[in-house]
Structure 1
């Protein structure tokens, strides 16, 4: 089994690298055609969004084509198994010119050589410094930039105004205050705090005592520093009994649990705002920056970038598209309805999101957020973490025991790659 997994991994990397080489031979010819002003068609691939988001993207692409009459954009939507489909197409030499890449998947795909470094295409007027730094760094490896983030969300504290007022509770600013507030808010079938017990929501907390969840591209979450940082989350559920995870109250996720009034506070992202407006319009709530841990601000950020296929034969046109979509004008159109937040500080300010009562705390967190991304083995590491952390959260076993077992399993799987 070990040999088979090793061969499979090498095969993917080798095949992707081979497709890169195959694309290089025609680059000069393609570039010449573009410079002669002939009509060029490029392909943009991504996953599907809701109808409103699709309409915004369509408008942004139409605006791009109007400003670049020599470039046509073919937009392809991959509805299921996006990364599996993308990797297969890249291996087969049929990858799109430009495509979405989640920061979570970026390290692994960049490692294969399938993503084009973009630094040589960037001109001074593109204003790289305008991007929120943590979001940009998610697509940088060893001093090279492989993508530019198109949008993002951080996490913020969502709180039910009525429930906090009735309990005489102020909006908590520290994690200790949140735990104490939860005790006063837990009554009449309502829990003080709704939790999503997974690494994607708690990575910044796990590392708040100086520990590393991932070290040398291996699982390190059973370290004493990480366990100490996470123990209060487990204790609040099992000792205080003032927190709950969605399934325990018949909900599917934190936003639903909050909207149903089963949790007075949750930590969620920008996606919860349109959801609550549509599904629970009568819920009176506010948002605030995530409470500090050990006196330090922290939150998570989730971002997606536009990247270029390194085997593309139409790289000049591909860059024109990326630079427009992640430029100030294109980004303003794409994020104008608030479904996604702009990764450029100037666009967030122009649209008023930095001062928005609900989105302001989410925007404020971008400059200090921990991006949901790490080394190439993070997918293996987080799967094993989540399985065992949930068991500890639910009181089925001690946290230290659960995470030690999960770490061993994760690192065994990494060895067998």
Structure 2
């Protein structure tokens, strides 16, 4: 299977670059074809937005599901390039807005009235969803969005290179740094965390025994353990053992598959491609604990379907979402397991998924169940950007961690005040 294309698969960049509607207000509106001419069905015409997944067959699958729906004509805008979020939020401000779209749980979408309440759709099957997914989509007791896939992220590594270097699987961040040094040669770097290192900031926070926000929506990441982790990341960054400037970012398995690194932070979605390239010479482990008070961490990314509450066909869109992402379990399983590996958010589907019951996929599910952390809907993209800036300030540029965290605190506090008073 071909390597993922940086130009066609921006799914991970959206996690970092997504913006709230307030920020999108200054963007130019989308013009031209609004995509409402296709689809099957004899009722309403609906448009759905998807970013361009890198796994072959995904676009065809989404369009096949839509074609099977008989109550409305559903057209898919399959948006390529690295500006899915800007196209989406620009379109939401126009008459060409999609009726439904995939994204991540973000409380500002709820507060602005942009996304519809889907509680009535989810409630009858609520107990069949991973309850952490339900929690990450719930505001004031109402459920906004339906999770389509869960995407655990962890470290992948080459077993043979570990054996040759006499390296054990790291259980602490210190051990990871030591392993990277022993694995580094003139041709292979010890570890790859992504080109900007952004992907590991939240796993580092969790592995240090901290969190993004506490249960009262107060800052919980500014701790001594997190500062210690940032100092250690700086040590790794300056060691020469970290792969920097890879041709593609962490979401693409090429760095490990092509022998550029011995260890790579990536997601379960890429496991089939890695297994195809490396066979049994592939293992996984969670982000190791940073401090004695910490614990290993697995970040659960993923995508959810939302209904545009300001659209012209809200009820018809809700009916389609219910049909596809509640009723059609065959399609839900196909979407999660036929084009890369994802954990189905429906418990009944996950339990019957044979592809996840043995070998490395089963180990991935175990790590997901034991160490998984989900998105906090109250920790918005502006807040995520703020803590990612900490990595740039004190890991990449060598600044003071306390000063970098103080700077992030100011930005996060302003966002919290706007959202929660």
Whether the TM-score (by the shorter chain) exceeds 0.5 is yes
Q: Name the CA distance, whole Å, in 2 between partners of 1:234 and 1:186.
A: 17
Q: Name the CA distance, whole Å, in 2 between partners of 1:409 and 1:110.
A: 21
Structure (1/2) with the larger helix percentage: 1
Alignment correspondent of 2:29: none
Residue 230 of structure 1: CA displacement? 3.1
- The 1:411/1:52 distance shift into structure 2, 3 A limit, reads same
Q: Name the CA distance, whole Å, in 2 between partners of 1:42 and 1:330.
A: 19
Q: Name the CA distance, whole Å, in 1 between partners of 2:241 and 2:393.
A: 15
- The 1:9/1:100 distance shift into structure 2, 3 A limit, reads closer
Residue 205 of structure 1: CA displacement? 2.0
Alignment correspondent of 1:32: none
1:231-268 per-residue CA deviation (whole Å, 9 max, x = no partner) reads: 33223444xx3741432xx5433433323323221221
Q: Name the CA distance, whole Å, in 1 between partners of 2:22 and 2:263.
A: 43
RMSD of the alignment, in Å?
3.6
- The 1:245/1:142 distance shift into structure 2, 3 A limit, reads farther
1:257-290 per-residue CA deviation (whole Å, 9 max, x = no partner) reads: 3233232212211243355467x55893222344
Alignment correspondent of 1:101: 103
1:49 to 47, 50, 53: 53
Checking the alignment, whether the CA contact within 8 Å between 1:213 and 1:226 is kept in structure 2 is no
Alignment correspondent of 1:171: 169
1:326-351 per-residue CA deviation (whole Å, 9 max, x = no partner) reads: 23222012223142512223323323
Residue 203 of structure 1: CA displacement? 0.8
Checking the alignment, whether the CA contact within 8 Å between 1:269 and 1:362 is kept in structure 2 is no
2:298 maps to 1:302: no
1:369-407 per-residue CA deviation (whole Å, 9 max, x = no partner) reads: 22345436x333333433442353246334334443454
Instruction: Please tell me whether Structure 1 or Structure 2 has the larger radius of gyration of its CA atoms.
Output: 1
Alignment correspondent of 1:87: 89
Q: Name the CA distance, whole Å, in 2 between partners of 1:383 and 1:217.
A: 17
Alignment correspondent of 1:121: 121
2:356 to 354, 357, 364: 354
Residue 101 of structure 1: CA displacement? 1.9
Q: Name the CA distance, whole Å, in 1 between partners of 2:207 and 2:97.
A: 40
Alignment correspondent of 2:244: 246
2:288 to 291, 298, 315: 291
Q: Name the CA distance, whole Å, in 2 between partners of 1:168 and 1:258.
A: 19
Query: Which is worse superposed, 228-237 or 151-160?
Result: 228-237
Q: Name the CA distance, whole Å, in 1 between partners of 2:336 and 2:272.
A: 13
Between the two structures, name the one with larger relative contact order (CA 8 Å, sep ≥ 6): 1
1:293-321 per-residue CA deviation (whole Å, 9 max, x = no partner) reads: 54634211112111112234544432332
Alignment correspondent of 2:73: 72
Unaligned ranges ≥5, structure 1? 1-7, 13-36
3-state SS, counterpart of residue 266 of structure 2: strand
- The 1:55/1:10 distance shift into structure 2, 3 A limit, reads closer
3-state SS, counterpart of residue 91 of structure 1: coil
